Chains A and B, each alone.
Chain A
Amino acid sequence: MSSVSNPPSIVRRTPRWLPLLGRSANPGDAVFRSVSRLFALLILVLVLAMAAQMAFAAEESFKEFGWGFITSQKWDPVGQRYGALPFIFGTVVSSLLALLLAVPVALGIAIYLSELAPLWLRKPIGFLVELLAAVPSVVYGLWGVFVLAPLMATTVEPALRSTLGFLPLFSGPNQGFGMLSGGVILAIMILPTISSVSREVLQAVPANLREGAIALGATRWEVVRVGVLPYARPGLVGAVILGLGRALGETMAITMLIGNRPEISASLFAPSYTMASVLANEFAEASQDLHLAALAEISLLLFAVTLLLNIVARLLVWQVSRGEAKGAR
């Protein structure tokens, strides 16, 4: 409002516009309230503006392809045909794969940290887990390129093929860069998110439920199963969805590992492509209007899906921490 160099004496104490900000005896409070309300509204406006902008930018693609955009498999910038199905497929499958791999481990970590670990170990391990969440995406990507992909190509994929190769999922040439590697890197990246939120949820479970189970002669595992998990379930689902949201939107690391080919293949070894990756790779080079519009439509899809998932996840987590999960069955 006033710049630092101004002497305080010339700052107006009760500005004439004060009544505009609502009934408040204290001008400081009124300003504070309005400013913070403004910021809060700004977020909402920003979200809506982004959605509107993307929809606007995608208009040409809407007109040209209609619903065919999300059912067509052909992505051909040269021939000006755009179908998003391979990217939707790549995003959904890599994210689900990541969940499949990460959820059991993450829940294991969370249960260990909140129920089983000795007290002195809980803080340091919890801290390490959260630290993992702070590692930049590109670092995971680089690690993936130099360590994970070769490992997948030389060890994991051959092993899978020789044991489970009769399934189409695990057949085809191993290349290291593909759906499986992408899923694994995503799993590693969402692990800290899921486990730290789950841990919070588990810690919010009232102690007297645990004691009730213990007093009935429950073993440690039974205490978790009967006293803790059922109560925490909505929150745990929320944690998983938050992880899913992160996996869906993850760009850098998965782009470096998934192989970036817009194809739908039954094999997890085959390269694939995600919505986020194609945006990152093609947006800068897209020159035709239709290409840009198609990319804008993909970003709108991605935006809608992640936003929705995050809202659902937050609601579920709040349900537990407010203790409203009582009647849940």
Chain B
Amino acid sequence: MNLEPAEPVVTAPTPKVKAPSAPGGAEEPSAPEVKLSAEDLRARFGTTQVLKGISMPIEARTVTAVIGPSGCGKSTFVRCLNRMHEVAPGAVVEGRVLLDGQDIYGAQVDPVLVRRHIGMVFQKPNPFPTLSIQDNVLAGLRLNGTRVPNPAEVVERRLRQVALWDEVKDGLDRSGTSLSGGQQQRLCIARSLALEPEVLLMDEPCSALDPIATARVEELIHELRADYTIVIVTHNMQQAARVADTTAFFYMGELVEYDQTDVIFTRPKQRKTEDYITGRFG
């Protein structure tokens, strides 16, 4: 991967941060590998401190859920992970986010390139209304300047990947907004996947969807986990329990607890986490 716009200053191979291997880990082919890691990440809007120093390693090819009460900074956190936060007026980020050991906030890093490696799906489906379904899928590649030798193939592959192909294959020329909300959201996921990102950030991707569409997106997340590292913000704790390997609980801009999902939901170590998941506040 190369995030440097011109001549990269860092030419050394990117260090792979290895988690301590399990006993007898030597014969294991792949030890857990940290894909993305926030280190003392602080974010604010003007003078309002929203994230107060988050440190959180995220393992490759896992699904990580981010939960917490409204306004605690979940969206801000994931937006810091692909440098979207700084797009808002007055928004400032401090601290580091390492992608394969490389700081995406490094001085030489081009945020545009970062975002091509770290895709994002939003709460409200936002296909480009003036583009057809197939052009929506290809939009990212075209921006990228990539010559797509066989666009039809890419479109079919990505739409199959999000289980949308059978529903839209007869109308690929229709506008992206002619689809239902759930279909639009899957189209947006396909659009992100076409760029072959390594990490996919999803900010409440199902909050505008009905239960059936939600189930399809969750199924999709399950399948994507084999190849992608996924971070998903959700207000739905059942959803977190269903899809996530690890879960992070945020409260007032701080990471209160971060552990295996079943630990968070069955025997959390922090009182705050317990109160939240049992519905005592939030």
Contacts and interface: CB of A to CB of B under 8 A. Distances in A.
B248 interface: no
B177 interface: yes
A226 B126 CA distance: 13
Contact of B143 (A222, A230, A233, A328): A222
A319 to B, nearest CB: 12
Given A208-B122, A230-B128, A230-B130, A216 B84 contact: no
Interface in A181-218: 206, 208-209, 211-218
A208 B124 contact: yes
B112 A215 contact: no
Contacts of A222: 143
B126 A211 contact: yes
A230 B90 CA distance: 27
B113 interface: yes
Nearest to A218: B143
Interface stretch (B8-16, B187-195, B209-217): B187-195
A216 B126 CA distance: 12
Interface string A227-243: 10011010000000000
Interface in A232-256: 233
Nearest to B90: A119
Nearest to A329: B130
A328 B129 CA distance: 8
Contacts of B195: 216-217
B128 A226 contact: yes
A63 interface: no
A211 B122 contact: yes
B116 A230 contact: no
A219 B87 CA distance: 12
Contacts of B70: none
Given A222-B143, A327-B177, A214 B87 contact: yes
A206 B178 CA distance: 17
A328 B177 CA distance: 11
B188 to A, nearest CB: 7
B192 A215 contact: yes
B143 A226 contact: yes
A268 B122 CA distance: 53
B247 interface: no
B89 interface: yes
* Closest 8 pairs between A and B when the two form their complex, measured CB to CB: A217-B116, A230-B130, A216-B140, A215-B120, A212-B126, A208-B126, A217-B115, A326-B129
Given A212-B127, A230-B131, 8 more contacts: A208-B124, A212-B128, A214-B84, A215-B82, A216-B116, A217-B112, A218-B112, A329-B175
24 contacts: A206-B126, A208-B124, A211-B87, A212-B188, A214-B87, A215-B84, A215-B120, A216-B116, A216-B140, A216-B195, A217-B143, A217-B144, A226-B139, A226-B143, A230-B128, A230-B129, A230-B131, A231-B128, A231-B130, A233-B130, A326-B175, A327-B175, A327-B178, A328-B129
Interface of B: 82, 84, 87, 89-90, 112-113, 115-116, 119-120, 122, 124, 126-131, 139-140, 143-144, 175, 177-178, 188, 191-192, 195
